[in-house]
């Protein structure tokens, strides 16, 4: 399971590696125990708040060409209509 870092922290069990908010946890090549994941995802750590959260993985399924564009939309994009302009008479 891949987690996303919620708050910047130094992982004391990963040679004080700094994880920035938005990073993935754990970094490649570092194995983490389920207990450590629970500690970082909960409030039972030195900071007292969750430091990582589960990342939602999207199922990558191929999309058929017929499914990519709804049938009720036009095939070609339409240009937006021009704004009406006020004609001015230049008089002297």
Q: In the predicted model, is pLDDT for residue 69 greater than 60?
A: no
Q: In the predicted model, is pLDDT for residue 3 greater than 80?
A: yes
Q: In the predicted model, is pLDDT for residue 72 greater than 70?
A: no
Instruction: Tokens for 82, please give them.
Output: 């021009």
Which has more confidence, 74 or 88?
88
- For the chain, domain boundaries: 3-54
Spatial distance between the Cα atoms of 19 and 21, rounded to a whole number of angstroms: 7
Q: In the predicted model, is pLDDT for residue 70 greater than 60?
A: no
pTM, two decimals, is 0.58
Q: In the predicted model, is pLDDT for residue 12 greater than 80?
A: yes
Cα dihedral sign, 30-36-42-47? negative
Predicted confidence at residue 55, as pLDDT, reads 78
Which residues, including other chains, have CB under 8 Å from residue 37's CB and lie 6 or more apart? 1, 3, 52
């Amino acid at each position: 399971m891949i987690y996303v870092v919620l708050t910047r922290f130094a992982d004391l069990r990963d040679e004080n590696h700094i994880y920035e908010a938005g990073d993935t946890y754990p970094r490649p090549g570092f194995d983490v125990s389920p207990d450590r994941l629970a500690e970082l995802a909960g409030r039972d750590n030195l900071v007292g708040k969750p430091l990582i959260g589960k990342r939602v993985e999207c199922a990558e399924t191929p999309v058929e060409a017929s499914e990519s564009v709804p049938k009720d939309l036009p095939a070609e994009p339409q240009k937006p209509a021009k704004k009406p302009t006020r004609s001015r008479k230049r008089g002297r």
